[in-house]
Amino acid sequence: MFEIYLSYFRCMKIINGTLFTLLIFAQFQVWAQKPEIKRIDPEYWWHNLETRDLQLCVYGINVGLYETKLKTTEVKIKSIQKLSNPNYLIVNLDLQQYHGNSVIIDFVFEDKSKTITYKLETLYKLPHSIEPSDFVYLVFPDRFSNGDIKNDALKTLQEKTCDRSNLGGRHGGDIQGIINHLDYLLDLGVTALWLNPTLINDQPAYSYHGYALTDNYASDPRLGSNQLYKKLGDELHKRSMKLIMDLVPNHIGSKHWMMLDLPENDFVNQWPEFTRTNYRATTQFDPHASAYDKKRMVDGWFDLHMPDVNQRNPWVATYLMQSYLWWINYAGIDGFRIDTYSYNDYDFMDKCMTYIQNEYPNFYSTGEIWEQGGVLNMAYFTEKNTYTKSPQSHLSSAKDFQLYWSILDALKNKPEWDKGLAKIYFTLTHDGLYHDANLNLTFLDNHDVNRFYTEIKEDFNKWKIGMGLLLTLRGIPSIYYGTELLLSNPLPKTNDGEIRQDFPGGWPTDTINKFNEIGRTAKENEAFHFIKKLVNLRKNEEAISHGKLMQFTPEGNTYVFFRYNASSCFMIAVNRGEEAADLDTRRMQERLTGYTKGIDHVNNETLSSLGRVKLEPNTIRIIELLK
């Protein structure tokens, strides 16, 4: 028997090419379709977490018509929220002291009940902390290795093809391919693996990059299943390695399942017409910034196919935060790299990381804050920074673009008072703005910029200087896949796919396999072993990984700094000149006192005296000081 209900009519409106569902209330008598539950997010939860609140997002046809009751008396319903779209129902639970393995929920309609047994599991695994002794390796999953050719192209998804000749298309790399080569990474010295996003991007085109997710709880099937991603975390932990997840809170894909059936008009930030962000993170702390510029930075869309999520909507904020904690618990995530961090709502990100740290106080996070504007531009967003006007933050660190640009400047330009090597010096003088600059994620290239070897015009000596600096300076060093093999790209690049090339040997049909030493050139093997050697040095020497840093002002073509602790000291010296330099160390006696000789770990040379140190042209020396 049908009853007459208040119903909702929907009409579609296109704003600058973006499709929106407008929800219109109408006092109109229609025959309502009976409710049907299609999904509940999160799919399950854990009963032994510190956090006792749990929000369930119930989705399906007219689920908003349900009344909700609990049969599990030890759990309470805090509130029920019915959204503008009747296909959504938000149920907020208080788990209190309940530690059972399920919650029994009745969804009642027309005096008939649909009973759901919501599963609660026991959590055993805990994340490991990411720290300065780690060496992080960034992999673009679609371009590293194809371990399962059966998932290359799926007809059930919108982008149905896999074509390695298409720079912007799917190439077939996947999680199984990464698992197949974990021992290669272990041999290099990698201790933490960071993957570009692996959640499903069911977009019509250009879906391979992963930054336009269409479901917060599902891996992209072309990369593998949730279970396979969890297996990756397990396999890493078996090898005492860690897993860093690439988190994208700011935006979603235009084909996200919630965009296709909009919960509410304010689910995403809307404008009268399509409005792109101004990409100006500085508006967040600029005392002269206009309100319009601040709003456009945070609420503007990153791109046409990337709607900007409204993180000020309370249920949306909780939905996002719970999904992040779910992945930590499910897959054993050890840290987050947070995409476009400065584009997010500041208060939401602080609330989000507080929520995570309430469960895991030492959980590591690093934010992508990519903008020329000085060290303050990054430090402002990090926890316990010393800028007095900065609001509270629980972001562990910043992805260190400022140091990246400084090292490039040092290698591409001749030393001057404020250029070249001086750029590194000046950048490090601002480390006091951070609570702990040693937690910054440092790098020389990544998936968005030219490959490092390209930037220095394939100069191997400069490559060694850059890698030597990366692996001895403060911070947590990371490299982009293939950097250890001198991978390069066309300059100027015309497509991001050129810097996201396939790893040679990662596909069954590849004729050259650079995962094996025999498949690499002599120079590539030299590069591989150079990194391996310095990574192991950093890993074994706390003076380099966790020690203090003292730098001396650059002089001429040279720059010197020390990494030291109470028991050991390393001197790192760079010569960017075209002629050899005879380094007079008298001004460095405060660090040399008590030491009489040293070992250069770059070329295994023993120094019998530290009074004067010879530096060959365009070289770096990493000298362990001995008494």
Q: What is the mean pLDDT of residues 35-51?
A: 97
Of the candidates 127, 195, 193, the one whose C-alpha atom is nearest the C-alpha of residue 334 is 127
Distance of CA 86 to the CA centre of its chain: 35
Q: CA-CA distance, 386 to 277, in Å (whole number)?
A: 28
pLDDT of residue 183: 98
Q: pLDDT digit string (tens) for 200-242?
A: 999 999 999 999 999 999 999 999 999 999 999 999 999 999 9
* Cα gap 548→436, rounded to integer Å: 11
d(CA 120, CA 48) in angstroms, rounded, equals 9
What is the CATH code for 136-542? 3.20.20.80
pLDDT value at residue 126:
86
Write the pLDDT tens digit of every residue in 562-588: 999 999 999 999 999 999 999 999 999
- Among 243, 454, 240, 281, which Cα is nearest to 367's? 281
CB 505 within 8 A of CB 515: yes
Contact 481, 489 (CB under 8 A): no
pLDDT, residue 30, reads 34
**pLDDT over 60 at 430, yes or no:** yes
Report whether pLDDT(158) > 80. yes
Q: How far apart are CA 443 and CA 370, in angstroms?
A: 13
- The secondary element (H helix, E strand) that includes residue 41 is strand 36-41
Backbone angles phi, psi at 561, to 5 degrees: -140, 165
- Given a cut of 50, whether residue 24 has pLDDT beyond it is no
The residues carrying an active-site annotation are: 339, 368
How far apart are alpha carbons 70 and 4 in whole angstroms?
27
By DSSP bridging, strand 569-575 and strand 619-626 are antiparallel
Compute how many other C-beta atoms are within 10 angstroms of the C-beta atom of residue 152: 18
Parallel, antiparallel or unpaired: strands 548-555 and 558-564 = antiparallel
| Mean pLDDT estimate for the chain | 94
Structure tokens at 405: 């640009």
Res. 22: pLDDT tops 90: no
d(CA 88, CA 309): 17
Quick one: average pLDDT of 457-471? 98
**pLDDT above 70 for 123:** yes
The answer regarding whether domain 545-626 maps to CATH 3.90.550.10 reads no
Residues 6+ apart with CB under 8 A from 160: 153, 154
Average pLDDT over residues 169-179: 98
Neighbouring C-beta atoms of residue 606, cutoff 10 Å: 9
Of 176, 321, 327, 333, the C-alpha closest to 244 is: 333
Q: Is the pLDDT of residue 11 over 50?
A: no
Q: How far apart are CA 507 and CA 619, in angstroms?
A: 36
CB neighbours of residue 411 within 10 Å: 25
Instruction: Write down the number of H helices and E strands in the chain.
Output: 14, 26
Between 64 and 27, residue with greater pLDDT: 64
Q: What CA–CA distances, in Å, run from 167 to 5, 383, 448, 512? A: 52, 38, 14, 20
Average pLDDT score over residue span 347-364: 97
7 pLDDT band, cuts 50/70/90, is: very low
Q: What does the pLDDT look like over 317-327, one tens digit per residue?
A: 999 999 999 99
Among the residue ranges 30-39, 288-297, 561-570, the one predicted with the least confidence is 30-39
Task: Give the side-chain half-sphere CA count within 13 A for 97.
Answer: 0
Looking at the predicted structure, is the pLDDT value of residue 189 above 50? yes
Cα–Cα separations (whole angstroms), residue 555 to 266, 473, 575, 587: 57, 19, 10, 11
Rounded CA-CA distance 226/229 in Å is 5
pLDDT at residue 1 above 50?
Answer: no
Cis peptide before 86 (omega within 30 of 0): no
Other C-beta atoms closer than 10 Å to the C-beta of 291 total 8
Look at residue 32 in the predicted model and tell me its pLDDT: 61
Contacts of 471 (CB under 8 A, 6+ apart): 135, 477, 531, 534, 535, 537, 538, 544
Contact call for residues 2 and 32 (beta carbons, < 8 A): yes
Beta strands in 147-236 (DSSP E): 192-195
Just give the CATH number of 4-121. Answer: 2.60.40.10
User: Does residue 80 contact residue 68 with C-beta atoms inside 8 Å?
Assistant: yes
Q: How confident is the model at residue 125 (pLDDT cuts 50, 70, 90)?
A: confident
Q: What is the pLDDT of residue 373?
A: 83
Burial label, 322 (beta-carbon count in 10 A; 0-12, 13-18, 19+): buried
Can you tell me the mean pLDDT for 373-382?
95
Sequence spans of domains, the chain: 4-121, 136-542, 545-626
What pLDDT, on a 0 to 100 scale, did the predictor assign at position 6?
A: 35
**Do the domains 4-121 and 545-626 sit in the same CATH topology, yes or no?**
yes
At 98, give phi and psi (nearest 5°). -75, 130
Span 511-535, mean pLDDT?
A: 98
What's the token pair of residue 125?
């695994």
pLDDT at 279 over 50: yes
Distance CA 547, CA 563 (A): 6
| Both tokens assigned to 249 | 């809170």
